Structure 1
Amino acid sequence: MRNLLLVLFFSPLYFYAQSTINCGNTEPIYGKKSYHTGSTGASLAIGDPYVFNIYFHNEQDVITLTENDYLKAVAYLNQVYNQFDIFFKYRGFVDFDITPLTDMLNIVVRETAGDGSALTPDFINISYTTFLTDLPIISHEVGHILGLLHTFQGSPREERAFINPITCEFDPAGTDREIGFFFLDEPDDDDLDAENVTRETTSPDYNALDAGDLVVDTPATYPTPNVCSDISSGVSYYIYSNEVVDETGTPYVDIDVRNIMSYNEYPYLDNLTLGQGVRMRETIANETILQDRLTTVESLYEPYSGIYRTCCWQPEANENPPRFQPGFDYEFVACSDSSILSLGRPLPWPYEDLTFNTGDVVYSFSSDYEVYEDIVHLNNTAIRIVQLEDTPRRCYSNLAKNANSGTIVKFNDGVFNANVTATAKDSLGINDPNLVNNLENGLFLIETNFDDGTQDQKVILKDNE
């Protein structure tokens, strides 16, 4: 079987400096105690995907922000929350206007110090330094808006000396740590009590259903537990000491120090639990203020900018192609239908219409692909968003463009260099439906010239193995 692949180049998206998260939101919002705690029978199979409109307000002039900066934040949020069928649709940005849009989640980039705070869906505040460098904090604040509390909710802490120092092999100050953080058994101002360690439901100390973050499958914790982290490898874990106990005297054996809703070293905050996912979805389902910010799944198959060619030669369509937001695994699948013009249907085809022909994946992008300008919807392809479904949608097959000639360029060494063989094709040759299938194995550039003066280029890596 022949496989067609677009050659793409990938590199890591995010690099962080070590720090500790500092969130301004400590008060519970909405009617949280009525929502699922993830204790038994937690399941995400409770409805369709939720898609939020998201909009940015830049309220600072210390640094210059570009649209790619906002797209990077939206991509990160999707990478974190898509596992729970929660999606974000980028709707743009504005400078120096904090008037909230009531049908959007509004992220306000401010000049003020600190990391962030989540007051309401109208004001998710992020400092400009956090916005550019510390994307896990943005996901933390959005988690609050979607109904999540801190994993240490109601649990105070204090710093003091260990009787027996604990060991951290990555500690830059040495292997023995003499000073650390402990649970402080004192009343807290939060509405919720501290969560005890035990998960034995028959124990008199069991309170996970009604205390802490109200999510049972997040282990009990306290602010900033003792953590060992290695920046070079990305390893981060809780350091156990039997001296660190909850208010019942039970040691904290298992703490999720990588949970996004904790107060730990944010380079490593990358985890949410199933119970937290269920809680968010139930919050969305029960809170009108969040439902008002939702849009359709179809919107994710629409470009955030650019235009489609609708009939004839449109230079602006070449200069401003339809661009799609990063953060999803995209597969652009070959599609065509000769009746598209005669039926008078718009381009691209409606989301609901699946009557076009589909073939191999022509080109694709991973969710962490970082050259955002490349993610465009080209002619004769339909869109598959892997995080949503297997079905390709919105075939764009503009048959008003007639291919009149072209060139097949083979890279003889199998890499992009000047050692090439170019073969010209006339109208019959360039329109041959078996053009790609008849190619031998190798790396090719197919240039197609159209009657309207435009040209398409596709890179093909052919492999029959």
Structure 2
Amino acid sequence: MKKTRNLCIVLLLLFSIKSSAQKDMLNKLYKKSLKLSEVENYMELNNISPAQCVDSKQVLNNDLDESDNIRYSNRRPSYEIKVFNVFFHVVNENNGNRAVPISENDLIEAVAILNKTFNQFKIFFKYKGHDQINSTWRSVLYIGGNRTFSQLVEYSKSIGKYQNNSFNVYIVSTIRYSQYDSRKIAGLSNKPGINSVIDDEYLLTSTLPHEIGHNFSLEHTYRNWNNSNCNLVAQNDYIDDTLPSMAYENSEIDSDCSTYIGDKDKNKCGIDFTQVPATNFMSSNVLPCRSLENASFTSGQGKRMMLTIQNKWNTIYKKVENSIESLYEPYQGSYVQGIYQDPNNVTGKEMKFQKGFDYQFVDCKKTTFVKKSYSKNDVPKEHPYFTAIKILQVSSSEARKCNIPRPSVYQGGTVISFGNIIDNNYEVKKLDSEEIQNPKLVETLPFGYSIINKELKNGDKYQKTIYKARN
């Protein structure tokens, strides 16, 4: 009895230490002394166990049936590029406040995480914006009873905030098993579907790709490990290239992030679970194994996601599709006419493109000539004149959206006239802003060769050589 009592005291002490570390982390988030992007690293350094995702089959009645899971393995996906809108709902208290602040920069970072993760499978995401849902009651979710995820989705529809044309990602203050069970849950999602919810502290962790993976019908890598049907245990998550697995805690995984060192007697079917895919996005949430830095999807999981998109296209995914062209457009700021930039800041917002891609701004005609480039972690804030855009994740050869300035952005220039031969004999004529914008400028030039130099108000210069022949 004494040994049992001492063991209980030790366990309570360990739980108290972990709870204290969790509270310290939340306090730092509240005070903005810890960034959301630093949560995974903070949890790892302070030995905080991340919350898990509950299997959606326990929560939502829209799971794939077993025949779908098995049937998918014999089909081949097309791997055509698919672009999907994504919209965020930030759920606050009644007064609009929330303990963990969420900025638009955080949401842009979240979309970048999705693109970095899913682009390899030709799945792209376009940020379509966010809103605020001010409801203290709905900022805390439970698995059953009242305050469920499904009820939150229906509430957002009733107040006109649900986006039928986008993936809807809800960000709440906490998700728990029940009013009486304080165990935290990192996220929930429809499988397959377009709705997911994230506990705010996990927004910029591997939980977000994990939940979107569920949206595309991916199972947990430990899907069937505790099933009484040993045939299903062997099939695991129905994907051939993910190792058979079981649910586990941080303490049950060796430092190599692949070896299970926990209680092997948990397995009732005699299947070897020694090697587990702890660095897979759909595995148990252990750090540092399943972190954004280490986690990945297998090619088989990519195939499953693409097949799900194809199979459920008309019923689920078609309505949230966007064009490839949309990826080449800024999410903030705009072009005033067609492809022309906003020189007078008409929108009142700085131009910004999504991060998460490798951009090249190339010469409109000579597209191998790169004028500016940005990495996945950069946010391009301009579209230079006379350049088109390459997104290397889409195509390393195709450039889109040449940005030609409107005439009104020129402040003047010169015309150099040579005659029939370009040599040291020439005439120079200066032009003011009105003359340089004259649509009939070429008609006023002498016959032969001329060089038109146009100077833009931002200091950029544009040169064009023409030859005007006699009729």
Q: TM-score, normalised by structure 1?
A: 0.62
By how many angstroms is 1:136 displaced? 0.6
Specify the structure having the higher radius of gyration (Cα).
2
1:204 counterpart residue number: none
Change (3 A) 1:248 1:303: same
1:329 counterpart residue number: 358
**Could you say which structure has the higher strand fraction?**
1
**Could you say which structure has the higher helix fraction?**
2
Change (3 A) 1:312 1:236: closer
> In structure 2, how many angstroms separate the alpha carbons of the residues matched to 1:53 and 1:324?
15
1:320 aligns with 2:320: no
> In structure 2, how many angstroms separate the alpha carbons of the residues matched to 1:359 and 1:242?
58
Q: Secondary structure at the match of 2:268?
A: coil
1:383 counterpart residue number: 389
1:303 counterpart residue number: 330
2:275 counterpart residue number: 254
> In structure 2, how many angstroms separate the alpha carbons of the residues matched to 1:313 and 1:83?
33
By how many angstroms is 1:148 displaced? 0.3
1:227 aligns with 2:253: yes
Give unpaired runs (5+ residues) of structure 1.
1-12, 157-185, 197-206, 230-234, 336-355, 406-425, 429-448, 458-465
1:284 counterpart residue number: 309
Q: What is the 5 A alignment of 1:3-402? A: 16=40, 17-18=43-44, 19-27=49-57, 29-31=63-65, 33-35=67-69, 46-60=78-92, 61-96=98-133, 98-99=156-157, 100-113=162-175, 114-119=185-190, 121=193, 123-131=195-203, 134-156=204-226, 187=228, 195-196=232-233, 207-208=234-235, 212-224=236-248, 226-229=252-255, 236-239=257-260, 243=264, 246-269=267-290, 270-287=295-312, 288-308=315-335, 310=337, 314-316=343-345, 320-335=349-364, 356-369=365-378, 372=379, 374-390=380-396, 391-398=398-405, 400=407, 401-402=409-410
Q: Secondary structure at the match of 1:238?
A: coil
Deviates more, 1:394-403 or 1:57-66: 394-403
Contact 1:21/1:137 (8 A) holds in 2: no
Change (3 A) 1:123 1:387: same
Q: Which amino acid aligns with 1:66?
A: S
> In structure 1, how many angstroms separate the alpha carbons of the residues matched to 2:124 and 2:341?
35
* Percent pairwise identity: 28
Question: C-alpha deviations, 1:299-319, integer Å up to 9, x for none?
Answer: 111211102254798421696
Contact 1:326/1:375 (8 A) holds in 2: no
Contact 2:56/2:189 (8 A) holds in 1: no
Aligned residues: 327
Q: Which amino acid aligns with 1:402?
A: Y
Give the number of the structure with larger relative contact order, counting CA–CA contacts within 8 Å between residues 6 or more apart. 1
Question: C-alpha deviations, 1:21-65, integer Å up to 9, x for none?
Answer: 41133317245633577867x865x14111111000010222332
Q: Which amino acid aligns with 1:264?
A: N
Contact 1:333/1:359 (8 A) holds in 2: yes
> In structure 1, how many angstroms separate the alpha carbons of the residues matched to 2:367 and 2:355?
23
Change (3 A) 1:378 1:320: farther
Change (3 A) 1:334 1:78: same
Q: Secondary structure at the match of 1:327?
A: coil
Contact 1:38/1:215 (8 A) holds in 2: no
By how many angstroms is 1:271 displaced? 1.3
Q: TM-score, normalised by structure 2?
A: 0.62
Contact 1:106/1:124 (8 A) holds in 2: yes
Give unpaired runs (5+ residues) of structure 2.
1-36, 93-97, 135-155, 176-184, 414-428, 432-452, 462-471
By how many angstroms is 1:221 displaced? 0.3
Superposed CA RMSD: 3.4
Q: Secondary structure at the match of 2:63?
A: coil
Contact 2:353/2:381 (8 A) holds in 1: yes
By how many angstroms is 1:15 displaced? 6.0
